[in-house]
Structure 1
């Protein structure tokens, strides 16, 4: 059924939003080198651990890097690395780094998810390489020692109370910041974009490559842009997929705020889908006209805030469903925000709405929306954004911002403007954020959906302006988060493939309709 596929897709998306703790086997039997692909100076490739669920031919290794680059001879930490070697050594031109989003996503998982499709597109032009950034997946972990209730997606996302109050968010943010300061130590303070850039440069050296090519997605575009700013002549062909504004005064604070506009940009796509007559046969038609779908969703959210609806969680295979936490309006809107990432997630959200509209219905919640993240996943979720830039500390200012944001952008109910643990972060920013500029080689291709809920087009233009003539932009008339090999737009996919494999880039910015 369409609804089952949609629910499964949303579960996968939510799983990607949290960090899986899959470990890598850095040892094992070294794999045979494929031509020049084996010419590395600091990595021993071997079989990947079964938990990685490796693709055929995928190899794993461990890279040792300094915990603190200011003390290069001090403590070192391991980073999990993985690659899919080129199967055509005669066609190989270098290494393509797959840089994941987040902060908090696993590069090794990203390679597993996209590696087969990417390898097909590249046709042997590259070894495909990714690593788990420090704090993530198979790399060295950070911890905050947070209570279980402070590790839910719904609490880490800082949704205001039903009436817009933020007292509970203030108390929780302070509690999280204090726990991280008490338990995080040097490992937590080392979770920064600047260190991820330094780690990437160490990986380049270990691979024995003079230059790298890259495909960065979402937060990964900021990592890629920061690397290109610091090491411009180590970049070959550079793709930024779904960028955000790199404004060094705001960085992640601005990214979070942008999600409010992103939801507004994207919601009409869902409304068109949910009002289509075909949805009636599926039991998922929410209204007869697209313009009425918003009222259905928002009225339901208001009702759930006043009177939460009982929910269930799916049981393990062979086990019955079990009672879940009450479905609130904020949980419904968080589900919407995630569903807007891809058209494939629309059925799951429409099913959730349909079940919640029925007084006798049993809305089935994804486990990720109703359970706690692992402590290391929660630590990386807050660590990077709080370490990268200083955040305002005035509680009254957040109260005013939330009230204004709720009025302008009801679909996100003030969450993007709300207080976070960064307001109470001990020590503030670890170092000054990088300023992305137009200085350097003109070898960057940006690609951006017009209706992206997470990195809205208007924010992506901040990156475009910063890069100037270093970049060309391919805009895609599509909704969702992530473009290349993500939404089936042949024009956009071909533009990226031509650039990476042949160096062909548009003379100017172009639009794919």
Structure 2
């Protein structure tokens, strides 16, 4: 389960000729791939070790990008960015953050202060990619389908075992054990070095919050200003974070229920409680009789995906209306998943943590979370390919308070993807290194993508002037 909005904003996949430009410490910039790429963004590649324990061994390629500050008095150096994932490309992300016509561009003061840097993490897209040879049918199942009972877990276990086997036998199996968050953080430091910068600032959201936390833990003295938005817990995408999707939806769904209840013409109820009962009714009916291939599991996933943003509430209500009438909804775009995006996501998540191997343990978790988080808990607790992953984790970075006080967490109270409960755990792990700005709003993405001036101003002030709140801050 993960939002796909940023994937659609990536650069086109076609390759253009890249003319040579002046190199930065061995890094050559040129025109970005794609048809008519905007002139303000430059793209390039660097090579990094596959295995940092063997730095003189085999190398892989990283695709990076840059939008230079137009301010000749550029003050802070570089701001490396990450939109989340794992498995999401980030080479085009600086365009998303600096587009003046976008809903949520970075303030001009931040764009003036930094060169904005993007990257496709190792294993992703234009960086040397990984594959698991997944079929369209496998990807159509989605991530962690809803399990109505123990038999559904057994069914998903068979699919998960096959996915893991395909990853192990793919043509990129030589690379996959080294596609980890810790190695991606080391790649980031190679980018910093290639750009000739003594320190680097960072802005990362969702999974990017964990990536940034690992980077500043491994390289505290090379970290300048670190902003972590929509935060995973200190252990990244482990089983606890995966199950937390259930908690996140319980936190967030009432916002959508209030939206629907305020529109009685929709016919789904006039109170949030009635709207919630409608959700369960529709899910159960679609479990029995899918509409245009949309069963109860996909319906729950669509609802979860759409509540990432208030701006998608209207479209979600339209989907509900069509399905309630037994008609295929017109407003559901096909998921932008590719073999690479799914393979890269699986590879990082499965490599970063140890996962239970017992099918029975997942059946137990599903039964518990179906009751504890009835909206989608039985999906979030379901078994995945990580239970059969052929490679064991070789490294776990422990987030601690050792290092300078240069970390700012920003977090929505009602975030479906990265709930507040886990953000607080990350805040605790950082200790005095960090401060946290908590915002009374819903959705995934707090800074710039949110609409709270108090929260946005606090982050902007930190990035531009280094002014960090003296204490944790709450924005009503």
Coarse TM-score class (shorter-chain normalised): over 0.9
Higher deviation after alignment, 431-440 or 91-100: 91-100
Quick check: 1:30 aligned with 2:21? Answer: yes
Contact 1:342 1:480 in 2 (8 A): yes
**Residue in 1 that maps onto 2:458:** 495
CA gap 1:164/1:472 in 2 versus in 1, 3 angstroms? farther
In structure 1, distance between residues paired with 2:334 and 2:9: 8
Taking structure 1 as the reference length, the TM-score comes to 0.87
2:138 to 150, 167, 172: 150
Local SS of the residue matching 1:124? helix
Cα distance change, pair 355–136 in 1 and its aligned pair in 2 (3 A):
same
1:215 paired with 2:203, answer yes
Please report how far the alpha carbon of residue 347 of structure 1 lies from its aligned counterpart in structure 2 after TM superposition. Answer: 1.1
123 and 131 in structure 1: CA distance in 2 versus 1, 3 angstrom threshold: closer
Aligned partner of 1:478 in structure 2 is 441
Q: How many pairs does the alignment contain?
A: 469
Q: Work out whether residues 17 and 105 of structure 1, in 8 Å CA contact, stay in contact via their aligned partners in 2.
A: no
Q: Report the CA distance between 1:487 and its aligned residue.
A: 1.6
**Matching residue of 1:89:** 72
Q: Is the 8 A contact 1:24 1:138 kept in 2?
A: no
Secondary structure (helix, strand or coil) at the match of 1:61 reads strand
Preserved contact between residue 10 and residue 93 of structure 2 (Cα < 8 Å): no
- 2:431 aligned with 1:468, yes or no? yes
Secondary structure at 1:411 match in 2? coil
Q: When the two structures are superposed, what TM-score results if normalisation uses the length of structure 2? A: 0.93
Residues 458, 336 of structure 1: CA spacing in aligned structure 2 closer, same or farther, 3 A cutoff?
same
After superposition, residues 209-288 of structure 1 pair within 5 angstroms as: 209-247=197-235, 251-277=237-263, 280=265, 284=266, 286-288=268-270
Contact 2:154 2:359 in 1 (8 A): no
Q: How has the CA–CA distance of structure 1 residues 23 and 467 changed in structure 2, closer, same or farther, with 3 Å as cutoff?
A: farther
CA contact (8 A) 2:81 2:116 kept: yes
Judged with a 3 Å threshold, the aligned counterparts in structure 2 of structure 1 residues 175 and 161 are, in CA distance, closer, same or farther, namely: farther
Q: Displacement of 1:353 after TM fit?
A: 0.7
What is the CA-CA distance between 1:24 and the residue it aligns to?
Answer: 6.4
* Paired position in structure 1 for 2:351: 387
Give how far 1:22 is off.
Answer: 3.0
2: CA distance, partners of 1:342 / 1:298: 21
Is residue 2:341 matched to residue 1:377? yes
- SS state of the match for residue 152, structure 2? coil
Stretch of structure 1 that moved more, 68-77 or 288-297:
68-77
Q: Relative to structure 1, is the Cα distance of residues 15 and 330 closer, same or farther in structure 2, using a 3 angstrom cutoff?
A: farther
Structure 2: segments with no counterpart, 5+ residues: 100-104
Deviations 1:76-126 (A, max 9, x none): 221111011010122332101112211111111322211232262415111
Q: Is 1:190 aligned to residue 178 of structure 2?
A: yes
Paired residue for 1:139, among 104, 122, 127?
127
Query: 1:362, 1:394 → 2: CA distance?
Result: 38
Supply the distance in 1 between the matched residues of 2:316 and 2:115 (Cα, whole angstroms).
Answer: 38
**How far off its partner does 1:189 sit?**
1.8
Distance 2:54 2:192 in 1: 20
* Superposed counterparts of 1:56-75, under 5 Å: 56-75=39-58
> Could you report, residue by residue, the CA deviation over 1:316-369 in whole angstroms, capped at 9, with x for unpaired residues?
xxxxxxxxxx2111111000110110001111111111011113x332363434
Aligned residue for 1:90, secondary structure, equals coil
Q: Is the 8 A contact 2:150 2:363 kept in 1?
A: no
Decide whether the 8 Å contact of 1:68 with 1:190 is kept in 2.
yes
1:171 aligns with 2:158: yes
Deviation at 1:17, TM superposition (A): 8.3
CA 1:338–1:390: 2 relative to 1, 3 Å: same
Look up the match of 1:101: 84
Write the deviation string for residues 50-85 of structure 1: whole angstroms up to 9, x where unpaired.
25x744411111111112222222222211110110
Distance (Å, rounded) in 1 between the aligned partners of 2:466 and 2:377: 44
Q: Distance in 2 between matches of 1:501 and 1:339?
A: 33
Assess, with a 3 A threshold, how the Cα gap between structure 1 residues 384 and 12 changes in structure 2: closer, same or farther: closer
Relative to structure 1, the CA distance from residue 92 to residue 26 in structure 2 (aligned partners, 3 Å threshold; closer, same or farther) is: farther
Alignment correspondent of 1:327:
294
Correspondence for 1:408 = 372
Which ranges of structure 1 fall in alignment gaps of 5 or more residues?
1-10, 32-37, 312-325
Aligned-pair CA distance for 1:407: 1.5
| More helix, by proportion | 1
Instruction: State the alpha-carbon separation in 2 of the partners of residues 18 and 57 from structure 1.
Output: 16
